[in-house]
Amino acid sequence: MRQLFNQLISFPYFFKIAQISFPYLFLLSILVILLGVLWGVFFSPVDVTQGEVYRIIYLHVPAASVAQSIYYTMVIASITYLIWRIKMASVFMISMAPLGAIFTFLALFTGAVWGQPTWGTWWVWDARLTSTLILLILYLAIISLFSSFDRRASTDQAVSIVVLIGGINLPIIKLSVEWWNTLHQSASITLSGSSIDNEMLIPLLISIFGFYLYVTAIGMRKMQVEILKREISHNWVKEIFIEKR
């Protein structure tokens, strides 16, 4: 296990694995997303309460889930970097932050589209919405730090600290609907079960799985780009480009 971990945090080894895995993961993610979203939008039954508008869950829920999960993993990476100074952890954070920002924005946008006909307004300062907006601001702040320091070590240190502090917002997002009286509904899918009918639930789970596959594929590709920026003068990188020629 230790040997496998050491290989995974090795830039050359990870780059090689990502290079092989990316096309298959990316293609699979697109197919799974299309299956889940198209099934949910065109073939799942109409909701008796919300009508057709509920179908936006096949984009909104996966986007919100991925946005939060990315930050959870970034917190773990920040702790890993601050304690053990593993460079792969900082590469992960820097690579995943833009993806996190995109999916957080998508969650907020689709939530607004869902909220307008449901609540009668595009936006309210609801606890869940506000804490998710804070998540987007955190992602943007982390991205802005990338170019704020001249030294790579200083950037990695600053990003790790900001990510770790921002982790305080995660339980607020998760538990806001229980702590405060909010318009946002509580979670329909939990470890103990689901309140969604299986005809709606199955395509939703497929869509969520597809989104996670997509983030994994694109995240690996972005990490490859970041590794090349850091290791461009090393022999193993030069050997890769010589092989391609």
pLDDT given at position 189: 66
Structure confidence at residue 172 (pLDDT) = 93
**pTM exceeding the 0.85 threshold for the entire prediction:** yes
**Alpha-carbon distance 142 to 74, whole Å?**
11
Q: Which residues of 206-241 are buried (b: 16+ CB within 10 A; e: fewer)?
A: bbbbbbbbbbbbbbbbbbbebbeeebeeeeebeeee
pLDDT bin (cut points 50, 70, 90) of residue 241 is confident
The secondary element (H helix, E strand) that includes residue 21 is helix 11-42
pLDDT of 186: 67
pLDDT band at 49 (very low <50, low <70, confident <90, very high): confident
**Does pLDDT of 208 surpass 70?**
yes
pLDDT bracket for residue 164 (50, 70, 90): very high
pLDDT in tens, 101-123: 999 999 999 999 998 998 888 88
Structure tokens at 245: 């020629």
* Helices and strands (H, E) in the chain, number of each type: 9, 2
